[in-house]
Amino acid sequence: MTDRGTTDGHVTGRIAVGSDAPAERPGTPDGATATYVFAVCRQLDPAVLSGLAGLAEGSPVHGLRFGPLTAVVQHVPAAEFSEDAWQQRLSDRAELERCARAHHEVVTAAAVCGPTAPLALATLYRGDARARQALEADTDRFTAVLARIEDHAEWGVKVYLPTSSPTPAATAPAPPLPQGGRAPRGAGRAYLERKRGLHQAREHRHDRALQTAEDIDAALRRLATAARRLRPHSPEMTGEKHRLQILNATYLVTSVCEQRLRDAVAGLRRRTGAEVELSGPWVPYSFVGEA
């Protein structure tokens, strides 16, 4: 998955009010629906949701008012969105990605109308009445979150350094013994010294990489309202053997600091020599659970 909204778990959001979707069982009537909740916002223009398929074709995505706030919801077939059905989706990468992208598309559309708090993927209730009741119980928290992220966006930053190819000395075996089975005087010590030097060089490169990551993160945090460090992806995960990810972070940045952030990233590229990838702006998936 390459879309920022569907990577690193961000599409799941951080506010996960209790889900009580009906379990699939013989007593579930044909045609029964559950209420899927995508996000919560203050105001919602129905026009921005027009044409969105959401998670269930043929069922419009719409607003559900509760108190001073609005939930972005969709009626979905209960039997197709049971706990068992979601477990199957989680085990099918293609289906999970489809759902994550659909969820993200709806959240992004709603965010055009103002600050929007995404809910976790697969937040479902047994009908609108139950959804409204559960959401109303969290009104104060949603209100605080929306105030926190107003006029802010999330920006992702990934930093890479090139991986050093092993030198011939690093991969060379121990020198063979000459005929007679006795090594020249000092040969073993010289070999161990080379090995020790290579180990120290690797440690030095590792320490420099960590310091570069800390310096970049510190510089960007000064421009952000909040920041989160995520686990860097290994070369095995990224599939890129030629470079090493040393920083995987996300920053909550006010709109007035957007250009300063871009300029700072450009300056950090020049100063550190690292590859600094900036993505955004995104709905603040990573920061809606901190109120």
pLDDT single digits (tens) 150-174: 999 999 999 998 876 444 444 445 5
pLDDT recorded at residue 202: 56
The lowest-confidence range among 108-117, 174-183, 235-244, 269-278 is 174-183
Instruction: Please give the domain boundaries of the chain with CATH numbers for all domains.
Output: 4-150 (no CATH), 153-174+198-287 (3.30.70)
- Checking if the pLDDT of 26 tops 50, the result is no
**Which H helix or E strand runs over 190?**
helix 187-221
Question: Tens digits of per-residue pLDDT, 251-290?
Answer: 999 999 999 999 999 999 999 989 999 999 999 999 997 5
Q: For the sheet with 275-282, list strands across it.
A: 226-230, 243-254, 152-162, 275-282
pLDDT recorded at residue 24: 40
**Continuous H helices in 74-119:** 83-90, 93-110
Q: What is the mean pLDDT of residues 28-51?
A: 89
Q: What is the mean pLDDT of residues 2-22?
A: 44
Question: Tens digits of per-residue pLDDT, 181-239?
Answer: 555 655 566 656 565 655 555 555 666 878 889 999 999 999 999 999 999 887 766 66
Using CB atoms within 10 Å of the CB of residue 33, give its burial: 0 to 12 exposed, 13 to 18 middle, 19+ buried.
buried
Decide: 96 and 90 in contact? Cβ < 8 Å: yes
Neighbour count for residue 171 (Cβ, 10 Å): 9
Whole-angstrom distance, CA of residue 114 vs CA of residue 107: 11
